[in-house]
Amino acid sequence: MSESPNVAPGGGTSAKSAADDVATAFRLDGELALITGGGTGLGLATARCMVGAGARVVLTGRREDVLREAAAGLGGGAEYVASDVARPGAAAELADVVAKRFGPPTILVNNAGIHLKKPAVETTEEELLRVLSTHVVGAHALTRAVAPGMIARGAGSILFMGSMASLFGIPLVVAYSAAKSAYLGMVRTLATELSPHGVRVNMIAPGWIETEMSRKAMQGDPQRERKILGRTPAGRFGEPADVGMAAVYLCSRAAKFVTGAVLPVDGGASIGF
């Protein structure tokens, strides 16, 4: 029995087919990505990179003016729908509107979040619940809304935007740390449930990236900034596009055998000393 001409001995692909595959494997042509918190920061950077890789994107967030400006800056491959994922019932409404206007999302990026810098003993129950509602409850609700369609089609990619706070202790951010740490369990459980149906679930854990949120977190705290850079082997803060490019990879065919993974994009901070 002869082998397929594109299969090398041992089951690998031939040089020609491998080269052809690599040329397209990192592309997102034909994909529709729904990105929460997509008007600013890492959400916008992710959208920009995905558009550059051929995807259409739908940005969502609470501020319509910010979304409108962001979508206009991204060009013809971007649309927006204003929505607050933390509002009960909003996720199902959003998923329905997006599907009717633009088609069913094939990629979901759970990026929306709020920050709270405060000592743990001063963080109130209301403040904790507000952070958890946006990050955890909102992300779960939207995942629950779009996942059935992905399962029915036998394909899809769901990406959670975690944090270094998912991986180790950081002072003064107990609510944020609790929310981002919850993503770890969500990603692992969702990956085990959804991957048999062709839907991959992964998480990026950004290190300290130059965004408005990170600047607020370090505002008036130069010692904190020095500590961060001192434990980051790369010796600098990351750029939003560093995270966006990682998102493109995880949602592309190049990562078709990657699910349940946590990818630090942190200049080595998680392994630095």
Contact 228, 168 (CB under 8 A): no
Position with higher pLDDT, 249 vs 225: 249
Position with higher pLDDT, 223 vs 194: 194
CA–CA gap between residue 210 and residue 229 (Å, rounded):
12
C-alpha distances in Å from residue 189, one per residue of 192, 208, 242: 5, 27, 27
58: three-class secondary structure by DSSP: strand
Q: pLDDT over 70 for what percent of the chain?
A: 92
Active-site annotation holder among 80, 176, 183, 249: 176
Per-position b or e across 194-232, b if 16+ CB within 10 A of its CB? beeeebbbbbbbbbbbebeebeebbeeeeebbeebbebb
How does residue 15 score in pLDDT terms, banded at 50, 70 and 90? Answer: low
How does residue 10 score in pLDDT terms, banded at 50, 70 and 90? Answer: very low
Q: What is the mean pLDDT of residues 97-104?
A: 97
C-alpha distances in Å from residue 198, one per residue of 190, 195, 240: 12, 5, 29
- Say what the pLDDT of residue 7 is: 41
How does residue 121 score in pLDDT terms, banded at 50, 70 and 90? Answer: very high
Q: What is the mean pLDDT of residues 139-164?
A: 97
pTM, entire model: 0.90
Tokens linked to 157: 């990619």
CA–CA gap between residue 84 and residue 130 (Å, rounded):
12
Active-site residue flag, 249: no
CATH architecture of 27-264: 3-Layer(aba) Sandwich (3.40)
- Say what the pLDDT of residue 16 is: 53
- Report H helices in the chain: 15-25, 41-52, 64-74, 90-102, 125-132, 138-153, 174-194, 212-218, 222-230, 240-251
CA–CA gap between residue 87 and residue 48 (Å, rounded):
27
- Say what the pLDDT of residue 22 is: 85
Mean pLDDT, rounded, of the chain = 91
